[in-house]
A and B are shown apart, each in its own frame.
Chain A
Amino acid sequence: MSSLRLLVSQIRYEQKTFWRNPAAGIFTIGFPIIFLLIFGSSHQSSKAVGSTGVSYDQYLIPAMLAYGLMNSCFSSLAVSMTIRRETGILKRVRGTPLPPYLFLGGVIGNSILISLYSTIILIAIGILEFNISWPVHLGAFFVIIFVGVVAFCAMGLAVTIFVPNADSAPAMVNGIYLPILFLSGVFFPFSKTSFLYRIGNFFPVSHFAQSLLGAFDQHSSGFGVAFHQIAIIAIWALIATWIAVRKFRWEPRK
């Protein structure tokens, strides 16, 4: 079988596994939807956010997209790959002629598909329910989503190196990504002068959400987003990939 067909076949089986585990599906795709509906209904939509001119609803969509992508790339990859490593599934794969890059390609491809579903559903709800417009700067939108997906997947794979066993995987992964989401202003916005905002700006998620907001904003000009923010996400992607490639473990620690 050619490499490309093998990759497609791997993604298909990964999708089967994902959808047959209802807990994974609900948590990964469902939570951002639920949060969007709760946050979206509990605020006054017309009220402007901080010093910007955007409404809260408009702010919320990119924020929930960031949450959705972190779920489907970072946390679901980190948890499922740790569990597979600890139960010996990864070792077993290494004992077959399937090249490791095709196995990882299948896993990442699965995450990309889930991100895609999540993104489409969230934007659809935004348009239907909260009167959000389709992203104005479409080119920028796709570039940001792409760079974000790559960065979050690489971070998800890299973080498995630090998770010691399957039992601690969900707790540790939540312990890492929920604070990052908070600090990145995904659940509620910070003023740009606050200390927490500056901490959050260290991570790629806030840059991801802010760039996306730019892509949705009719008032932003040109490409629609600040290139330095995309660069920061890309740097995270490179560093995480470098760590993952060097240190990824296929077997439990002895």
Chain B
Amino acid sequence: MEDVISVSQLRKNYGDFTALGGISFSVKKGEVLALLGPNGAGKTTTVEILEGFRAKSSGEVSILGMDPQCGGRKFKNRIGIVLQECSIDPFLKVHEVLDQRATFYHDAIASAELLALTGLEDKQYEKVKKLSGGQQRRLDLALALVGNPEIIFLDEPTTGFDPSARHESWQIIRKLCSQGRTVLLTTHYMDEAQSLADNVVIIAKGEIVASGTPETLGGRDSAATIITFSVPLGLDIQVAGIECTSEDRDSSKLVTIETLDTVETLYKLSSWMLENKIQPGNLEVSQPTLEDIYLKITSEDNV
């Protein structure tokens, strides 16, 4: 598959301040790339350069073979943008906003289709100001799709959503990718990146500090497995020679095992429990989550 977004050695300076210190990444057609990073890391600066809102200081940016700065109308016709802040004319009705937007594009999607996709059919004759925050955000997404875009930029698309609204939005975004559209999104939610992204790039202080698939990022797949469970207080937990730490809680003892050899450790552990007739409480086997990895990578010591 071809790269529809390619960024190489992208730099952005504001006076003496370096907002982006030469970052490079690429996105293939139909993929979702999630841009993660702490506030002020340079995510929005990156996205806004890619959208054509801001000029780069140096480096190369190619979106669908065009330079966003010089692409003009032709470029804007092929991308869709959801900005961080939701700002739609409050006095127009939902269908009017969509119809108006459709007049801007060569190849517009019918508003009925977009209303169905974003679940706003019932609201089409309401004024925008009457919509809830979540509905306005969905309308925002619908507006970004009017031009039948090949690339969609989503800057924190689900911030402030309740969990079910977020899952609905993810469904929509997955549907868009299955239609062959490419998505570049920024987010603060690790589960969002985990659930949607083919690739993740973590930016901190204007530099890429990690990149990869959500599953392998930061050596996540080869990191130690953590097994935790609780046993009654006072029980001796010399578990069949397995190294572990324990901590007394109110009514039980919490045991934590870190291991690289997950299967063998689990085998030994369960045999020991069977032999000694131990009923463990809250048994959990976990790999580090994307959030664990993210926090480790972006903690002050590492950046």
A residues with a Cβ closer than 8 A to B are 1, 6, 9, 13, 16-17, 20-21, 87-89, 91-92, 94-99, 251
Contacts and interface: CB of A to CB of B under 8 A. Distances in A.
A92 B96 CA distance: 16
Given A13-B100, A16-B92, A94 B73 contact: no
B104 interface: yes
Contact of B76 (A17, A87, A97): A97
A92 B87 contact: yes
Contact of A89 (B81, B88, B96, B104): B88
Contacts of A17: 89, 91-92
Interface string B80-105: 01010111110110001000110111
B83 A92 contact: yes
B83 A95 contact: yes
Interface of B is mostly: loop
Contacts, number: 57
A18 to B, nearest CB: 8
Interface string B53-89: 1000000000000000000011011000101011111
A88 B81 CA distance: 13
Given A9-B103, A16-B96, A17-B91, A95 B73 contact: no
A89 B89 contact: yes
Contacts of A21: 91
Interface string B103-119: 11100000000000000
B31 interface: no
Nearest to B74: A97
B100 A97 contact: no
Contacts of B89: 13, 17, 89
B91 A20 contact: yes
Contacts of A88: 83, 85-87
Contacts of B74: 97
Contacts of A91: 53, 83, 87
Nearest to A87: B87
B51 interface: yes
A149 to B, nearest CB: 24
Nearest to B52: A95
A91 B88 CA distance: 11
Contacts of A94: 53
A25 B75 CA distance: 37
B147 interface: yes
Nearest to B143: A92
B91 A16 contact: yes
Given A9-B103, A17-B91, A95 B85 contact: no
Contacts of A1: 103
B127 interface: yes
B153 to A, nearest CB: 9
A6 B99 CA distance: 12
A219 to B, nearest CB: 47
A96 B51 CA distance: 10
B52 to A, nearest CB: 8
A97 B91 contact: no
Given A16-B91, A21-B91, A91-B83, A98 B51 contact: no
B96 to A, nearest CB: 7
A97 B147 contact: yes
B94 to A, nearest CB: 13
A9 B100 CA distance: 8
Q: Pick the most buried of A16, A17, A89, A92: most chain B CB atoms within 10 A of its CB.
A: A92
Contacts of B73: 97, 99
Contacts of A9: 100, 103
Given A13-B92, A21-B91, A97 B53 contact: no
21 contacts: A9-B100, A9-B103, A16-B91, A17-B91, A17-B92, A21-B91, A88-B86, A92-B81, A94-B53, A95-B51, A96-B76, A96-B101, A96-B105, A97-B74, A97-B76, A97-B104, A97-B105, A97-B147, A98-B104, A99-B73, A251-B53
Given A16-B91, A20-B92, 7 more contacts: A6-B104, A9-B100, A16-B96, A17-B92, A91-B87, A97-B77, A251-B53
B241 to A, nearest CB: 60
The 3 A-B pairs at the shortest CB distance, nearest first, are namely: A88-B87, A20-B91, A97-B76
A95 B92 CA distance: 19
A20 B52 CA distance: 33
Contacts of A6: 103-104
A233 B104 CA distance: 35
